[in-house]
Amino acid sequence: MAFGARVPGTVEHELCGDWLANQLAQYGAQVHNQYGTMPNYAGNSQPLRNIVAYLEGNTTKAILLCAHWDTRPWSDEEEDYDNRFAPVPGANDGASGVGVILEIVRQLSLLKAQGASIPSVQIVFFDCEDMGSPRHYTGKEREDTWCLGSQYWAKEYAKTIATQSPNNPIQPIIQYGILLDMVGDPSATFPREYISATYAASYLEQIWRTASRLGYSRYFVQQSAYPITDDHYYINTIAGISCVDVIDYKPNTETGFADWWHTQRDNMQNINHQTLQAVGETILTTICSK
């Protein structure tokens, strides 16, 4: 958060990306920056930078841990129109998910250094997740303007897996994935989101059972949620990887999300260490389970 809003194409975005890549490397992961372009909401070419890392463990197939690290260029859910053109700070959406994954990787690296058995993990921090059509846009509406980084990564994964030999550390075969999005709110509730339940039911059950066993059922609730457009959709449908979305959902709001969503109030005041711990401990325990 100290870098400022991570809007693609800005200095803040570049510096934060360099820091994230360096952190992952310090934890012993093999890191590379995946650069590419995707058409944005207006049909223009949008540069993107996915930060991809691999921490080798004792499993042949890797578990994908992912979150988006960019922030929305516009606070277009602000009531005051003049404030809608300021970038979203992005503490929860999506620095919270990135922060939890960084800590999981750090814990795995410590376990590995102690000689413990750990799962192989593929980490991807997606760019340009929040570049979807803004409210002020009046042009022709395009499809799939959200989650540009995951769309790009999923297409490249599908192509690479089809042509490479197994056990390639640059792009390992992935068993399943977990996406973390907006996981820091003190009142967060993570429902059984429809796409996750459709494509990755067994892995969803495993995560929710682990949360219950750890005493975190207040966060990982039994409620179902409608399909949510998020990075996991493209991971499931393009890459062919079963992926669960752990995302805070508010069924009684107009947007389905908290009132700070896509506003200037998405700041550190909406981050709670107990929520982060619940998510991190649940995911770490799940992926380390035999």
Q: Give me the residue label for tokens 């997740």.
A: 129
Which has the higher per-residue pLDDT, 132 or 163? 132
Does this model's pTM top 0.85? My answer is: yes
Q: Is the pLDDT of residue 169 over 70?
A: no
Q: Is the pLDDT of residue 167 over 70?
A: no
Mean pLDDT of the region 105-132? 97
Q: Is the pLDDT of residue 178 over 80?
A: yes
Mean pLDDT of the region 46-74? 97
Q: How confident is the model at residue 130 (pLDDT cuts 50, 70, 90)?
A: very high
Averaged pLDDT of the chain:
95
Specify the pLDDT at position 83: 93
96 Cα distance to chain centroid: 9
Q: How confident is the model at residue 140 (pLDDT cuts 50, 70, 90)?
A: confident
Q: How confident is the model at residue 205 (pLDDT cuts 50, 70, 90)?
A: very high
Nearest CA among 103, 90, 92, 64 for reference residue 6: 90
Beta partners for residue 62, in sequence order:
120, 174
CATH architecture of 11-288: 3-Layer(aba) Sandwich (3.40)
Specify the pLDDT at position 172: 82
- Poorest-confidence range of 79-83, 194-198, 219-223, 284-288? 79-83
At residue 77, what are phi and psi to the nearest 5 degrees?
Answer: -100, 5
Q: Is the pLDDT of residue 276 over 80?
A: yes
Q: Is the pLDDT of residue 261 over 60?
A: yes
Specify the pLDDT at position 160: 86
Task: Note the pLDDT tens digit of each residue in 141-160.
Answer: 788 999 999 999 999 999 98
Domain boundaries, the chain: 11-288
Task: Note the pLDDT tens digit of each residue in 21-42.
Answer: 999 999 999 999 999 999 999 9
